[in-house]
Structure 1
Amino acid sequence: MAKPQKRYVCQACGSVSHRWAGQCGDCAEWNTLVEEAGAVVTPFQAKHNLQSGGRTVQLVGLDADIALPDRMATGIAELDRALGGGFVQGSATLIGGDPGIGKSTLLLQAAARLASGAARRVAYVSGEEAADQVRLRARRLGLGNAPVQLAAATSTRDILTTLSIGPAPDLLVIDSIQTMHSDLIEGAPGTVSQVRASAQELIRFAKERGTALVLVGHVTKDGSIAGPRVLEHMVDTVLAFEGERSHQYRILRAIKNRFGGTDEIGVFSMQSEGLSEVANPSALFLTHRDEGVTGATVFPALEGTRPVLVEIQALTVRLASGATPRRAVVGWDSGRLAMILAVLEARCGLSFSSAEVYLNVAGGYRVQDPAADLAVAAALVSALSERPVPVDAVAFGEIALSGEIRPVAHAALRLKEAGKLGFERALVPTAMAKEESALTLSGFRTLTQFVDHMLGR
């Protein structure tokens, strides 16, 4: 009988090696290779024996009529928005986030809403806390009377045996997948093989019984979900719960969704009674001011199909000759800031080489939209020249290395949201100056024209 081979699996990226090393050759992480039992080596068979059985697979056309999947709306509008309308029966959802960000609180609130308002069967299994601890949290949130079934367990065999008795739950929450253990494979809970095997068993149960499965995942120091990357491919939806502990807001972002759009967000505010929905996120990220402040510009960002107005703040400080200036960025890409500064110096003649530059997105919001280039440039020029941007104006557009201001997508949505919040003017690329809008549009073809306009030349 063939002997099982030894193998070493990286706990950071999941790559397999047949010998131990201090550093993983794929992800370059140190001390992450852990020995796991390998599969038995069998002789390779060149081809299948098609005479020994098998079954035919039904093939359908692209134009076949398919019923839309049933959804369970949680009643939490921001969560349903990120999911695309609610949990889909028989689907698997993975939600990740930093410790203490509010993942368990959000899922407990959603479970209580479904169990109470929609009269759904809901099971909440915690591998990190005792049932009494979860019950105490529910009482603090005012959810102590919700008919949610609680359990504290880490064995997937025990969990699935229990849930197989009687009707299957409509929603099953596993908090967290890194604490689950399958006796079908060797290894400690949290290892790559255990996470993969436990998730596979739970997902198979959800698909067979029509249960909406939610897996809570830990995150690594760089913000990615811990465990094998294949875990994100196994599930139908991946949600990231983001935010800073020092700020009250939280953002639930859809990274992957087989039943809806990606990059949709739900915005929550952390209160003493739990997470509350933020129906108007723009009001949360804007600073209310009656007069202009130098270095501040309002930018209409776009998250999926949702426009969110945020304030971009810049500060420049002149230094004595010979000192090394700093470049500090919060909420935006530092490489993008370096590019904007270079274009302003090379194309517009502005000097930032002897000044420290600080850039911040108010409220702790993170902007990844390239349309923020023009708003960032406006904030930098305003801070350097000490000329405030008009308080009733917003700015958006992408800046090329040539100094050209390029159009961006979904201008109508951005302008509509700005008009709803009382803004009257918009600084946009020339190609978008003909958009139908209630705002007064000022178009600029190049960054030089834009800077001349701001400086009153």
Structure 2
Amino acid sequence: MARAAGKPRTVYACAECGHQSPKWLGQCPACRQWNTLAEEVAAPEPKGAGAPRGWGVPGAARPLPLREVEARDEERQRTGIGELDRVLGGGVVPGALVLLGGDPGIGKSTLLLAALDRLAAARPDGTVLYVSGEESARQVKLRADRLKVTAGNLSVLAETDAQKVLHAAEALRPTALAVDSIQTQYLPELPSAPGTVTQIREVAARFMAFAKTTETPVFLVGHVTKDGAIAGPRVLEHMVDTVLYFEGGGAHPYRVLRAHKNRFGSASEIGVFEMKAGGLAEVANPSALFLAERPEDAPGSAVAAVLNGTRTVLVEIQALVAPTGYGTPRRTALGIDSNRVALLAAVLEKKVGMEILSCDLFVNVAGGLSLDDPAADLAAVAALASSFRDRPLPPRTLVLGEVGLAGEVRAVSQPEIRLAEAARLGFERAIVPAANARHAEVPAGIEVVGVATVAEALDRIA
């Protein structure tokens, strides 16, 4: 039966990839994800044969031969917040599109407003525009007063119509533009509601075109789903130049800003902040922060030096081995991959003879940091063995190395800067892979002990 005249056509769009289907499907045929299709109103077809729906803005650049493109070194603008500049790769690149995500209330808007204030103060001849789709201008002012935002050239626009926002930005030509948040913006010509796949994709494309053609850095704040991913189609993360995630929150006072994608710098950098009454405060020395409350002479505690981009951080890995009260022992890990913990426990039982697999294993990275550096393997093994034997490790000992399934301790990258950070914080001894001990330049004040196997490492630690 023909569809009634004037009735809008509905489609089912995938929240992961944006694929559209005329009917609901349990699995998206494009990206193969389950339960990601949601109903929304279809965008109207362009009028006229072959008439595309425009994404760009007037005055688009003409094609140039690559050899004629002028490359400049002084491209980045410092935000004045050292931890944010570190994660961005040294500052904001003109024309960059940055997506900032995180849980509600974690501090995304607080960090962004403070950064815009400093950007505006650094460029008094220009204007910085902050667009709020969730708060009125008066509410933004209340938060700005609490954060002591004083820049006179920081403008606020409370608007959810993306077309009006772009017109205002075209007239104002700001030195930086921030949109809080991308899920609240919409285009009137699209019948879908704000926050749907079509709206997010089209709005992000308009802001991307504005950023690239005017060389204005644009910050987009994104909501996250209950799984921790940025709400909207996955194509949103592909469109932007940089994706930053705020981690932490809840009752924890510390926040970790992590780069998950960065076209202009390292994608493994982190920035550490502490939430205070007056806003977010930078933590210049995360190693001292994460080790500040480490208990003395407590079994199940070991310290590792991990790399996050160009930063070396000393972290405490805690382990608790307890008799199981169930038929199947529990494996719980926070801040470290639980599969990795199970692998290391199996190495301890098979290669060292420690009957640990029948026990409940709990492993935690103190301070809320998430680790993906394999150099922390040996520290996790040492913490598990220490808890199992109920014998504490020497207090000023660093444990470093990747553990293989054969029980060998493999070399890690950049051992010199890891040892230098440990020596700076007063560590006197370091258990490292034998390959690193032979070639690394050892800083003054620290003794380096090279080990080839896990069994040898545990013997030398005691």
What TM-score does the superposition give when structure 1 sets the normalisation length?
Answer: 0.90
Cα distance in 2, alignment partners of residues 315 and 198 from structure 1: 49
Give the aligned partner of residue 275 of structure 2.
270
Matches within 5 A, 1:178-327: 178-288=183-293, 291-319=296-324, 323-327=327-331
Three-state SS of the structure 1 residue aligned to 2:192 is coil
Question: Aligned equivalents of 2:232 and 2:405: distance in 1?
Answer: 39
Aligned match of 1:88: 93
Shift of 1:64: 7.6
2:425 aligned with 1:418? no
- Report the AA paired with residue 154 of structure 1: T
Is the alpha carbon distance of 1:40 and 1:126 closer, same or farther for their aligned partners in structure 2, counting shifts above 3 Å? closer
1:91 maps to a residue whose letter is: A
Cα distance change of structure 1 residues 193 and 393 upon mapping to structure 2, 3 Å threshold: same
User: What does 1:89-128 align with in structure 2 at a 5 Å threshold?
Assistant: 89-119=94-124, 120-128=126-134
Larger mean CA deviation between 35-44 and 70-79 belongs to: 35-44
Distance apart, 1:42 and its partner CA: 11
2:54 corresponding residue in structure 1 = none
Distance 1:291 1:99, change over 3 A: closer
Cα deviation, residue 437, structure 1: 1.0
1:396 maps to 2:403: no
CA displacement, residues 266-325 of structure 1 (integer Å, 9 cap, x when unaligned): 1111000000110001111114458422110011111001001110011111247x7443
Bigger shift: 122-131 or 281-290? 281-290
Per-residue CA distance 1:108-155 (angstroms, 9 max, x = gap) = 001111223442411100001111111111111122565421111010
Structure 2: distance between partners of 1:87 and 1:23: 39
Aligned to 2:137: 131
Which whole-Å CA distance do the structure 2 matches of 1:278 and 1:447 have between them?
A: 34
Contact 2:16/2:235 (8 A) holds in 1:
no
Go from structure 1 to structure 2 and tell me whether the alpha carbon gap of 1:22 and 1:60 turns closer, same or farther (over 3 Å shift).
Answer: closer
Name which of 124, 146, 158 aligns with 1:152.
158
Once the two structures are superposed, the pairs formed by residues 15-30 of structure 1 within 5 Å of their partners are 15-22=19-26, 24-25=28-29, 26-29=32-35
- Distance (Å, rounded) in 2 between the aligned partners of 1:149 and 1:212: 15
- Partner residue of 2:366 out of 362, 368, 372: 362
Aligned to 1:381: 385
1:164 aligned counterpart, secondary structure = helix
Output one character per residue of 1:53-93: Cα deviation in whole Å (capped at 9) or x when no partner: xx9954335x9862236222111111111111211222211
The match for 2:80 is 75
2:455 corresponding residue in structure 1: 448
In the alignment, the residues of structure 2 paired with residue 24 and residue 289 of structure 1 have an alpha-carbon distance, to the nearest angstrom, of 48
For residues 414 and 131 of structure 1, do their structure 2 counterparts lie closer, same or farther at Cα, with a shift above 3 Å needed? same
Aligned positions of 1:25-44 closer than 5 A: 25=29, 26-29=32-35, 32-37=38-43, 39=45
Q: Which structure 2 segments of 5+ residues have no match?
A: 51-60
Q: Which of 330, 333, 340 is residue 336 of structure 1 equivalent to?
A: 340
What CA deviation, in whole Å up to 9, does each residue of 1:18-41 have, x standing for no partner?
322355452112663435247579
Structure 1 155/388 Cα, relative in aligned 2: closer, same or farther at 3 Å?
same
C-alpha displacement of 1:408? 1.4
Structure 1 residues 448 and 67: alpha-carbon distance in aligned structure 2, compared to 1, 3 A threshold: same
Q: 1:146 to 1:335 in 2, by over 3 A?
A: farther
User: What secondary structure, in the 3-state scheme, does the structure 2 residue paired with 1:110 have?
Assistant: helix
- Two-structure CA RMSD over aligned residues (Å): 2.5
Aligned to 1:429: 433
What are the Cα deviations for residues 237-288 of structure 1, in whole angstroms up to 9, with x where unaligned?
Answer: 1111111322111111122222222211111110000001100011111144
| Cα distance in 1 between the residues matched to 2:97 and 2:311 | 25
* Secondary structure at 1:87 match in 2: coil
The superposition leaves residues 185-223 of structure 1 with CA deviations (integer Å, 9 ceiling, x where unpaired) of 331111111111111112212222221110001111221
- Residues 138-194 of structure 1: CA deviation (Å, up to 9, x unaligned): 1111225654211110101111122222x4000111000011001233311111111
Q: Which amino acid counterpart does residue 448 of structure 1 have in structure 2?
A: A
The amino acid of 1:215's aligned partner reads L
Partner residue, 2:352: 348
* Mapped partners of 2:62, 2:278: distance in 1: 55
Does the 8 A contact of 2:299 with 2:390 survive in 1?
Answer: yes
**Which is further off, 332-341 or 358-367?**
358-367
Relative to structure 1, is the Cα distance of residues 245 and 196 closer, same or farther in structure 2, using a 3 angstrom cutoff? same
**Deviation string, structure 1 residues 402-448 (Cα, Å, up to 9, x no partner):** 11111111111111111111111111111011211122111111112
In structure 2, C-alpha distance between the alignment counterparts of 1:406 and 1:64, rounded to whole Å: 45
Name the TM-score, length of structure 2 as normaliser. Answer: 0.89
Distance 1:272 1:404 in 2: 48
Structure 1: gaps spanning 5 or more residues: 45-54
CA distance in 2, matches of 1:422, 1:139: 41
Letter of the structure 1 residue corresponding to residue 164 of structure 2: D
After alignment, is 106-115 or 181-190 more displaced?
A: 181-190
Specify the code of the residue in structure 1 equivalent to 2:144: A
1:383 deviates by 0.6
Distance 1:260 1:178 in 2: 26
CA distance in structure 2 between the aligned counterparts of 1:146 and 1:392, rounded to whole angstroms: 50
Distance 1:331 1:147, change over 3 A: same
Q: Give, as a single letter, the amino acid of the residue that structure 2 aligns with 1:173.
A: A
What is the Cα deviation at residue 326 of structure 1?
A: 1.9
Q: Among all aligned residue pairs of Structure 1 and Structure 2, give the percentage whose two residues are the same amino acid.
A: 48
* Change beyond 3 A, Cα 1:139–1:424: same
